[in-house]
């Protein structure tokens, strides 16, 4: 007799299939939650046609960012970020843009801004949002928008699926051995083939 939940008989295959969907469901919920939480992230005042035209290249934004950081110009940093609630970045120093590098499979670029005096540097992400380039803090929105979250999610999902495959194989082997034992037990019942 099969164990039942309600009216349907228990199906190991159904449970394994539903368990395989867990990482995909978690990813979908994460992406949807980040998108919903950031619907009003950007301030429309920073996306006027003039500002879209002015900040139309990542190189220009990186140069302006170096100047704003060097001069501790919070108003300019707010314009460069385009956020309703701007994030503060460390400021000061003799800063210059050292390198701008596109990120793989992303609409973002990395800008390396170096401090000539201390020989220190910081990496800033610059992405194209609503027609203009903005400086993006490294947060959940950046991770989802740039696709960086997938680099973290994929190994976790693969590990989940590997464990599930191993567990499924172990249960399958166990059930097969039990069935095999039960079938062989019927052939070797007491008295069958015994030598007297």
- pLDDT of residue 134 exceeding 80: yes
pTM beyond 0.85: the answer is no
Q: What is the pLDDT of residue 5?
A: 53
Q: What is the secondary structure of 9-45 as a DSSP string?
A: EP-HHHHHHHHHHHHHHHHHHHHHHHHHHTTT-B-GG
H helices then E strands: how many in the chain?
Answer: 6, 6
Residue 56: pLDDT band (50, 70, 90) is very high
Residue 101 near residue 112, CB atoms below 8 Å: yes
Q: What is the pLDDT of residue 121?
A: 83
Tens digits of residue pLDDT in 63-103: 999 999 888 899 999 999 999 998 888 777 777 787 777 76
Residue 3: pLDDT band (50, 70, 90) is low
- pLDDT of residue 7 exceeding 80: no
Q: What is the pLDDT of residue 22?
A: 92
26-46: average pLDDT: 93
Q: What is the largest CA-CA distance in the chain?
A: 104
Domain boundaries, the chain: 41-136
- pLDDT of residue 35 exceeding 80: yes
**48 three-state secondary structure:** coil
**How far is the CA of 90 from the CAs of 61, 67, 69, 124, 143, in angstroms?**
17, 13, 7, 11, 21
Burial of 135 (0-12, 13-18, 19+ CB in 10 A): buried
Tens digits of residue pLDDT in 100-117: 777 666 788 998 888 877
Tens digits of residue pLDDT in 176-195: 888 888 887 755 555 555 55
Q: What is the pLDDT of residue 194?
A: 52
The whole-angstrom separation of Cα 66 and Cα 44 is 24
Tens digits of residue pLDDT in 140-188: 999 998 888 888 899 999 999 999 999 888 988 888 888 888 887 755 5
Tokens of 147: 């696709």
């Amino acid at each position: 007799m099969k164990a039942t939940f309600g009216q349907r008989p228990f199906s190991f295959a159904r449970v394994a299939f539903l368990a395989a969907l867990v990482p995909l469901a978690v990813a979908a919920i994460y992406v949807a939650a980040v998108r919903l939480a950031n619907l009003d992230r950007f301030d429309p005042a920073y996306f006027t046609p003039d500002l879209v035209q002015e900040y139309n290249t990542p190189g220009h934004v990186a140069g302006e960012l170096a100047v704003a950081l060097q001069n501790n110009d919070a108003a300019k940093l707010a314009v460069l970020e385009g956020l309703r609630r701007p994030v503060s970045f460390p400021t000061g120093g003799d800063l210059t843009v050292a390198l701008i590098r596109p990120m793989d499979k992303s609409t973002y670029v990395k800008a390396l801004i170096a401090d000539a005096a201390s020989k220190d540097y910081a990496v800033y992400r610059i992405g194209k949002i609503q027609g203009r380039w903005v400086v993006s803090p490294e947060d959940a929105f950046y991770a989802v928008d740039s696709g960086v979250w997938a680099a973290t999610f994929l190994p976790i999902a693969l590990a989940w699926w590997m464990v599930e495959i191993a567990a499924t194989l172990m249960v399958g082997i166990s059930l097969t051995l039990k069935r095999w034992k039960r079938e062989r037990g019927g052939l070797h019942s007491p008295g069958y083939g015994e030598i007297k």
